[in-house]
Amino acid sequence: MGPRLARSVEASGLAKKRLEVILETIAGERTVAEACAELGIQETQFHDLRARALRSAVTSLEIGQPGRPRLEVSPEEKQIATMEAELRELRLELRAAQVREEIAAVMPHLLKGEKKTSRG
């Protein structure tokens, strides 16, 4: 199949034709002059097109980072997360203060002993 594999790639008809002709020149099945005549372009344009195709091919074959790409978090989302964490902490502190108040109301003798030890 060789260069004809370009026909199975998902792309426009023009892109598939360009790729097939480029691969044919690389495989030695067609000269650059024949490729230029087929595509209706000048040799310099063909060489630029072939170089661009090869760069794109090589770039797409580079090893990437494993896993899914990291999602970018907007500054607003960061601020919301920070504020939510603060809110959780404040709610916890409030609940602790309420518990201390309840204990002080039910067992005031504990609070008096605490004050003595903290003063002296």
Least confident of 1-5, 29-33, 73-77, 88-92: 1-5
- Axis-axis angle for helices 32-39, 13-26 (nearest 10): 170
Interacting residues of 14 by C-beta distance below 8 A, sequence separation 6+: none
Please indicate whether residue 107 or residue 2 has the higher confidence score (pLDDT): 107
Q: Once rounded to an integer, what is the mean pLDDT over residues 86-110?
A: 91
Contact residues for 15 (Cβ-Cβ < 8 A; gap 6+) = 9
Q: For residue 120, what pLDDT is reported? A: 47
Rounded to two decimals, the pTM is: 0.52
Question: Mind listing the pLDDT tens digit for each residue in 37-52?
Answer: 999 999 999 999 999 9
User: Who's near 19: CB < 8 A, 6+ residues apart?
Assistant: 3, 6, 9, 11, 53
The domains of the chain are located at: 2-60, 75-119
Residue bearing tokens 């790639």:
9
